[in-house]
Amino acid sequence: MASRAVVQNVATSSQLVDLVDSDDEGGTQVDENADKFLLGFVEVNVVGLQYYSGRVSDQEMVRLIREPHNPYDRNAIQVVNILGDQIGHIERYKACHLAPLVDDSLALIEGIVPHGSKNKFKMPCLVHIFSNSVTEGIVKQRLRNAGVVLQPPHSDVGGPEGSFGRNPVKPKEQRQSLDNVFEGLGEGAGERCTMEPASTITSAMFPHQKEALAWMVRTENSSSLPPFWNMQKVRGSKDLMYKNTITNFLTEKRPSPLLGGLLADDMGLGKTLALLALVATNRPGATLSPIVKVNPTVADVLERPKKKRRVTSSDVASVEGGEDHPPRMNGPRTTLIVCPLSVLSNWVTQLEEHTEPGSLSVYLYHGPDRIRDPKLLAQFDIVLTTYNILASEGAGEYTPLQKVNWLRIILDEAHLVKNPSAQQTKAVVALKAERRWAVTGTPIQNTARDLFSLMQFLRLEPLNDSSYWRRTVERPLTNGDPSGLVRLQALIKAIALRRTKDMQVDGRRLVELPRKTISMHYVELTPEDRELYDKVEENGKDVIERFMKSGTVLQNYATVLQIILRLRQICNHPGLCPAYTEMFAAELNQKDSKNVPPPELLEKLLNIIKGGADFDCAICLNQPTNAVITPCAHVYCQRCIEKSLLRNKEQCPMCRSDLSTSDLMAAPKEEGVQEDPSSEQGPSKSSAKVDALIKLLVEARVKDPTEKSVIFSQFSQMLNCLEGPLSDAGFRFVRLDGSMTSKKRQAALTSFHSKDPESPTIFLLSLKAAGVGLNLVSASRVYMVDPWWNPAVEEQAMDRVHRLGQTRDVTVVRLIVTDSIEDRILELQERKRQLATCAFEKRSAEQQRLMRIQDVQLLMRL
């Protein structure tokens, strides 16, 4: 039941995103090891075993960790097992040649122990050396000069007469062994069961929601061994040991069960209600309805008790049999729900609509006056907070949220924690809880790397360690190995539940929703706006062609970004561009091709960011506080980037270009883009797109005055430009954008959902702030004012309206300016959809750079 579709729906992120989509991709970590491949193996010894407690087994994967501050050896390389226990160090005379390769970012090293500890002082180890096409020659030359023998990747390392004895670890055998591990993963996971929720859930649940409830209850109550672990007897002994099937690590201690997983149902299928049912149903001391198989066999019927009875949670069978693990009466009781600010009000509304009043005690952990006492927080049934709050408090053990031992944690829109180095991801992973759920309709948005942070949060050993994740899942995918996709699908099947709206179950659609139609409405620019557009485009072409001839397109990132943004803004409304747009061409022509754009250009780019699109800080993934921009055109909170530069090398966290605090460009004061403050509703002059939208809205009102519409734009100033014309046309409207507080957002939602005849019929929405998590079924018409680079983002926005609870057919209209950059964005979207089937094909760093340049050529018609 879970979830080949998750993998198949992944769209390869066109590298254009790195140029223009900082709000969508800002949280994606740049993986320096993505294009590294196996060069070969080096035989070494691990020494000093007598000084450390760590133990390993035959053919066990181990981690190799540089220890540059070791007082006895500056080239020290630690060897540790899956638990992080140190086993020893790589012998000095080999470490002194391997360490510089790691320190200079020339190579990545990983280890595997052929036959464990046969000697109390040392043991053999195979060091796998990975590099890329650029550094391959340097690595091989250095090892050759040092007299270190690099065995080729497919050799039988340490053969029968080799120093490694009779059982060498062969890459092919190791891969087949791992394939077998994943092949048996999640057997029985497709079994469908259902259960009734607690009586405190007042809303009727759909069958698929009851199935989700049954799956979650038995998953988080199970005491079965987690994935990748099994029991086995030690040869010559009656003792039972627990073996990790990926790393071959053996331990006497039974690993903790995986009490949670990934709820990855499609957008609009009612995941929130299913989760509320879980919270209300699976509580300490709760009485549960029995879990019943869907479409049982004759044998199932014969085994079922003749009389149904109410049972306690201790009677609920686990997924794979064995002892259950219900919430303890004397244990934690509180569920922490973490979500984006835009979704916070939706959770409050859903609680009011679906649960019996007073049945669950709820606290909103938000705002400056929030409770700081962890003992008080632990007395509620539900604590609601945002990723922003969690990130601002950090991962320190002394913050209120980190002090509480939660019964369960629910991450809503969990794809927002896809960057392992982001502050909010670190804070999420550090939280203490018995049960953990990640909830998102798009767990993988671009690459398998997106899933790694969720493995960290779920604490799925050993894939919560980047080294093991990379070598078992990510690298096979990157290298185009067919086993990579099979492994990823098996992993998702074992830990996730995924259903889509169009899925067929028992010959019927999973849910019957009203029809959704999507149409294009093409707009011609006015002669005046066309002249401005053509002028900016032609001069922009000249500039970018100069960059292409000199090979500096990617170095002049900021300038390319500014040109593209200006063209997109002119398509919407010329008033979105600053008053100095006329001077733009001359300024660009005067600009040389240096790597660092002049401060004046960056300041104007900041004006666009501040008044135009909704950008996120690429570290905390929230709207920037005291926004600053780097010479490489990445946007951060000032505090976030300054802390990053203090902790790490002086490099941009996104592109690794050299960066210091003196390079940061602060956002200008309020004088910004719109220099005329006389009207907060934007310029009085209209535009072709604004006129076209108003005409469509008026026509729809004539057909049905009660029908409500939502209007999405990625530019908050475009929403300003719409307010005046909407008022002039007699429309009542409300608005939601990233600058609004939680209370104002909730007030806007309440007003729009009202059935009062005088309630607003138009909802102006920022694509970034309102594109996920909201329930907008009060509307049945959607207008997408401007196209977005990633089609999945637009589909998320459309599904705010086309979802469970919708009673009308849904009409989606996309407004596109003809013969413009918007046409080419549609082409780019289609390219992304076509690339979905080869989302994990191998691309070298050079191929990725070429794709970026090709995307710029497409957009600028070069």
339: domain CATH number is 3.40.50.10810
In-domain check, residue 517: no
Report whether pLDDT(306) > 50.
no
Give yes or no: residues 97 and 217 share one domain.
no
494, 602: one domain: no
CB 675 within 8 A of CB 639: no
Closest CA to 311 of 333, 329, 285, 290: 290
Answer yes or no: is 246 within a domain: yes
Task: Give the other-Cβ count within 10 Å of 352's Cβ.
Answer: 10
pLDDT grade for 6, boundaries at 50, 70 and 90? very low
What's the domain count of the chain?
4
Mean pLDDT of 809-822: 93
Q: Average per-residue pLDDT in the chain?
A: 78
389 & 417 share domain: yes
Q: CB under 8 Å to 268, separation ≥6 — which residues?
A: 501, 513, 799, 802, 803, 804
Mean pLDDT of 50-60: 87
- Which of residues 481, 509, 537 is at a domain's end? 509
User: How far apart, in whole angstroms, are the C-alpha atoms of residue 633 and residue 608?
Assistant: 12
The residue among 700 and 627 whose pLDDT is bigger is: 700
Give yes or no for residue 585 having a pLDDT over 50.
Answer: no
pLDDT band at 429 (very low <50, low <70, confident <90, very high): very high
Among 168-177, 351-360, 657-666, 758-767, the minimum mean pLDDT is found in 168-177
Q: Are 401 and 431 in contact (CB under 8 A)?
A: yes
- pLDDT reported for residue 725: 95
Q: Please tell me the distance from the alpha carbon of residue 163 to that of residue 118, in angstroms, as a whole number.
A: 13
Residue 173 burial (CB count, 10 A) = 12
**CA angle at residue 638 from 713 to 745, to 5 degrees?**
35
So what's the pLDDT on residue 445?
65
Query: pLDDT higher for 593 or 719?
Result: 719
Residue 299: band (very low, low, confident or very high) from pLDDT cuts 50, 70, 90:
very low
What's the predicted TM-score (pTM) here? 0.72
Average pLDDT over residues 583-596: 46
If one compares 505 and 497, the residue with the highest pLDDT of the two is 497
Q: Are residues 450 and 534 in the same domain?
A: no
Helix (H) or strand (E) holding 746: helix 742-753
Q: Provide, rounded to the nearest whole percent, the portion of the chain with pLDDT above 90.
A: 37
Domain that holds residue 534: 529-677
CA dihedral over 268, 274, 280, 282, signed as positive or negative: negative
136-150, 487-501, 630-644, 806-820: segment of lowest average pLDDT: 630-644
Query: What value, to the nearest 5°, has the Cα angle with vertex 127 and ends 125 and 130?
Result: 165
Q: Calculate mean pLDDT across residues 649-658.
A: 73
Which band of pLDDT confidence, cut at 50, 70 and 90, is reported for residue 673?
very low
Q: Name the band, by pLDDT with cuts 50, 70 and 90, for residue 96.
A: very high
pLDDT at 420 over 90: no
Q: What is the pLDDT of residue 15?
A: 28
Q: Are residues 444 and 549 in the same domain?
A: no
pLDDT band at 33 (very low <50, low <70, confident <90, very high): low
- Judged by average pLDDT, the poorest of 567-576, 605-614, 762-771 is 605-614
CATH number of 774's domain: 3.40.50.300
b or e along 562-578 (b: 16 or more beta carbons within 10 Å of the residue's beta carbon)? bbbbbbbbbbbbbbbbb
Ramachandran quadrant class, 507 (left: phi over 0; alpha: psi -120 to 50; beta: rest)? left
Q: What is the spatial distance between Cα 731 and Cα 723, in angstroms, rounded to a whole number? A: 9
Tell me: the pLDDT tens digits for 329-369?
A: 889 999 999 998 888 888 998 999 999 999 999 999 998 88
Residue 181 lies in a domain: no
Taking only the tens place, the pLDDT of each residue in 358-417 is 999 999 999 888 999 999 999 999 999 999 899 889 888 889 999 999 999 999 999 888
Tokens of 439: 């909830």
Note whether 738 and 772 are same-domain residues: yes
Asked if residues 825 and 859 have their Cβ atoms less than 8 Å apart, the reply is: yes
Q: Which of 648, 677, 706 is the last residue of a domain?
A: 677
| pLDDT score recorded for residue 616 | 61
Per-residue pLDDT at 845 exceeds 80: no
- The predicted pLDDT at position 376 comes to 96
Q: Are 74 and 83 contacting, i.e. CB atoms less than 8 angstroms apart?
A: no
Identify whether residues 572 and 708 lie together within a single domain.
Answer: no
Residue 454: pLDDT over 80? yes
Report the range out of 290-294, 314-318, 844-848 with the highest average pLDDT: 290-294
Out of 170-174, 202-206, 283-287, pick the least confident.
170-174
Residue 483, pLDDT above cutoff 60? yes
Whether 315 shows a pLDDT value over 50: the answer reads: no
Q: State the average pLDDT over residues 313-332.
A: 60
Q: What is the pLDDT of residue 605?
A: 54
Same domain for 287 and 339, yes or no, is yes
pLDDT at res. 602: 54
Q: Decide if 415 is inside a domain.
A: yes
- Name which residue leads in pLDDT, 567 or 14: 567
On whether residue 222 sits in a domain, the answer given is yes
Q: How far apart are CA 389 and CA 367, in angstroms?
A: 9
Q: Does 393 map to a domain?
A: yes
**Percent of the chain at pLDDT above 70?**
74
- Please report whether residue 186 resides in a domain: no
- What average pLDDT score do residues 479-489 get? 80
Cα 427 to Cα 386, 396, 456, distances in angstroms = 12, 8, 11
Mean local confidence (pLDDT), 652-657 = 71
Output 519 or 324, whichever has higher pLDDT.
Answer: 519
Q: 725 and 752, same structural domain?
A: yes
Handedness of CA 643, 649, 651, 654 (dihedral sign): negative
* Mean pLDDT in residue range 526-539: 88
Sheet holding 260-263, edge to edge: 362-364, 382-386, 335-339, 405-412, 432-439, 260-263, 496-497
Between 591 and 437, the more confident residue is 437
Distance separating alpha carbons of residues 854 and 832, to the nearest angstrom: 14
DSSP readout, 305-332?
A: -SS---EEGGGPPPTTSS-B-PPPTTS-
Pair (209, 357) in one structural domain? yes
Residues 323 and 461 in one domain: yes
Does residue 296 or residue 694 have the better pLDDT?
694
Residue 467 · residue 232 · CB < 8 Å: no
| CATH code of the domain in which 556 resides | 3.30.40.10
What integer is the mean pLDDT of 286-301?
Answer: 70
| pLDDT score of 94 | 94
**Residue 134 located in a structural domain:** yes
Is the domain of 716 the same as that of 630?
A: no
Which of 646, 677, 708 is the endpoint of a domain? 677
Q: Is a pLDDT exceeding 60 seen at residue 597?
A: no
pLDDT (mean) for 491-505: 85
Reported as a single tens digit per residue, the pLDDT across 720-755 is 999 999 999 999 999 998 778 778 888 999 999 999
Instruction: Let me know how long the chain is.
Output: 862
